[in-house]
Chain A
Amino acid sequence: MKKDIILAGVGGQGILSIAACIGLAALREGLQLKQAEVHGMSQRGGAVQSHLRISDSPIASDIISEGKANIILSVEPMEALRYLPMLASDGWVVTSINPFVNIPNYPLLDEILREIWKCHHYVTVDADDMAKNAGSIKAANMVMLGAASPLLGLTATSLEAGVSELFAAKGQAIVDLNIKAFRAGREWSISQIKP
């Protein structure tokens, strides 16, 4: 088992929380893991990415090779496209369709969607809407984790345990909300992915 995942978004959108949940789940399942994060300057509203590698055998490089990623998991639609050179020919794009507009020349959403539709395998998610229904728009990142969950090679039980562990310090209500968001994303994704 080996999964190379590119996590993408804009600084402050919570991709490191997604990475942490996957990391905790992978540890639970006794897998090896490497996760390269971006800290520092680029966090300030800039494009951010994290390379997450899970495997049942030792992992050498902290970063994924071009054209080898199995999944691009993006909490922002334009950011999903930024990393297409990293994606393997049979890889999946799992992305939110909610733009984060903080630049004056942000493209039209329709143009972005047309590019996403060109990918062989993709799941598009209205993460903000699902997160709102779960109780808070802030849980959009957990919706996206749920949406990617059927493709990660990890069980939903391990991932939910990871979510619970990550948010435990913030109280049970926050844990429940995030689990609800996770499940909403997962259900949507399962309905979209042809078996």
Chain B
Amino acid sequence: MEKKLLLGDEAIAQAAIDAGISGVYAYPGTPSTEIMEYVQASAEAQNGKIKAYWSANEKTAMETALGMSYAGKRALVCMKHVGLNVAADAFINAAITGANGGLVVLAADDPSMHSSQNEQDSRFYGKFALLPILEPSDQQQAYDMVRYAFDLSEELALPVLIRITTRLAHSRAGVAQRAVREQNELKLPANLRQFVLLPAIARVQYRDLLSKQEHLRKRALTDGFNIYIDAEDKSVGIIACGLAYNYLVENFDNAKVPHPVLKVGQYPLPLDMVRRLYAECDSILLLEDGYPMVEELLRGMLQLGKPVHGRLDGTLPRDGELNPVLVARALGLQTTSGQPVPQIVKARPPRLCDGCAHTDAFMALNEALQAYGRGRVFSDIGCYTLSALEPLEAINSCVDMGASITMAIGAADAGLVPAVAAIGDSTFTHSGMTGLLDAVNNNSPITVIILDNSTTGMTGGQTSSAFGKVEDICRGIGVAEEHIHVLKPLRKHHEENVEIIRKELEYQGVSVIIPRRECVQTLNRKVREKARAKQAQE
């Protein structure tokens, strides 16, 4: 079959379509966003055969997928690594309920934090939940693993976690598809109490999950994603997890590594293979594109065994993504370097687009806050986080989705009055609404700026769950009508906008100010599409 040139994300999406999913659920987050977008653009989603829509957040996505699994159909749920924190309650408990229709959870990690606030390693969640984890090394294997994961999920009646990283998600390579599988028929669980986690039932289900662990370890030995590649030089044995394998073999002609290598793609770890490598080699080198999870296990707290090298002893950097040069250095191989970067080259950090509504909103806020001094704006995750940088320097926090409103409440409780929260429309419906309810219930003296650009901007303009609903939600939660204001963030309205914000900062209760103007990126895209449609008509 002819190969298609696909991003890792797209390979995963195509595999899920071919595996007969009936639904995909997600919240946008780099580097996972393109999975949903690819499915949405497919004929299967366009003609309604596959449900493919953005959920309000990762938890609702995870639960929706679990509901589809309950009904016997296959579902994929996708998120970035920190999204799995949001979905964690549902995820961990889905391991206890188990699956009915195939359920695959895709977490895209971001080592080096290209677009994230941390580089947590989702494999720990899989281990925590006692679920099988798959970690592909390339785009073709990503495709193959998704196909396998759905079969495995139905066979074991368990969700399966697939962990990828940014490099794989956002790198293109040729991918061959396999035969398309039909979707499942609607089919209730054989045991209608399987998903009822009352303590008495949960205890039984948990024991069932524990009893499956030995089988999971066996499958990691037999199912072909963990490979033992023997070689002559046993001074060091190498365990290379997922993508790290590529960085290893990049350093050797024809991918021939002189040392024994255990290529890991499936967890729990294949114990027999690890045992053999450890027994036959003088030392072990761990290559993991993420946290030193396997390394920590092998090393042990007391380090009583053979030397284990990796991120924990400085053989590799403790943080950041791996690359071929770092691996070469870890093996003591010669490396090259080009010329240094000339000193005249200046940093060019990302910035808000020209004409962005957020710029006007923050210029008004900055001026309104002048009387109180700096340091009282709690913000959130989105394009507007860039207003922390020059020239605006308008915000003082960015922690997790929704934390702006709740941190403002806490700071106000501590006496920092007025405290301001700045949050985007999509982030508000993701995790801000419950915080706003806290504020209303406490009558907190905070001013909440909901920056409404009518899209999920930072990830490329996906539909915002908040669209057309922001004021109604605020009213419904109990914010007083006279303290809800919609502004037009444009320079020509600057003075009046400053005045409105200034007045609300003085109010000793919850105010919501909604600067509303469409994202210039999505607006330009619409204008271009319109022009093209018009041209096509003529």
Residues of chain A touching chain B, judged by Cβ–Cβ distance below 8 Å, are: 10-11, 23-24, 27, 32-47, 51, 58-63, 65-69, 78-79, 81-82, 84-89, 91, 102-103, 105-107, 111-112, 115, 118-119, 170-171
Contacts and interface: CB of A to CB of B under 8 A. Distances in A.
Interface of B: 3, 5, 7, 30-31, 33-34, 114-115, 138, 167-168, 170-174, 243, 246-247, 249-250, 255, 323-325, 328, 335-342, 344-353, 383, 386, 458-460, 532, 535-536
A28 to B, nearest CB: 11
Nearest to A23: B5
B172 A35 contact: yes
A60 B249 contact: yes
Contacts of B167: 36, 62-63
A36 B170 contact: yes
Given A65-B336, A81-B342, 9 more contacts: A10-B348, A24-B5, A38-B170, A46-B350, A63-B324, A82-B345, A88-B338, A102-B348, A103-B346
A67 B328 CA distance: 13
Nearest to B390: A104
Given A39-B170, A61-B247, A61-B324, A45 B342 contact: no
A66 B336 contact: yes
Contacts of A36: 167, 170-172
A5 B33 CA distance: 26
Contact of A34 (B173, B247, B328, B386): B173
Contacts of A86: 338
Q: DSSP class of B's interface residues: helix, strand, loop or mixed?
A: loop
Most buried by A among B138, B174, B338, B351: B338
B321 to A, nearest CB: 9
Contacts of A84: 338-342
A47 B468 CA distance: 34
B115 A41 contact: yes
A37 B171 contact: yes
A174 to B, nearest CB: 10
B324 A33 contact: no
**What 4 pairs across the A-B complex have the smallest Cβ distances?**
A67-B336, A40-B30, A40-B115, A46-B350
B246 A42 contact: no
B160 to A, nearest CB: 24
Given A38-B170, A41-B350, A66 B335 contact: yes
A119 to B, nearest CB: 8
B520 to A, nearest CB: 11
B31 A62 contact: no
A96 to B, nearest CB: 15
A40 B324 contact: no
A41 B30 contact: yes
A112 B114 CA distance: 27
A114 B348 CA distance: 20
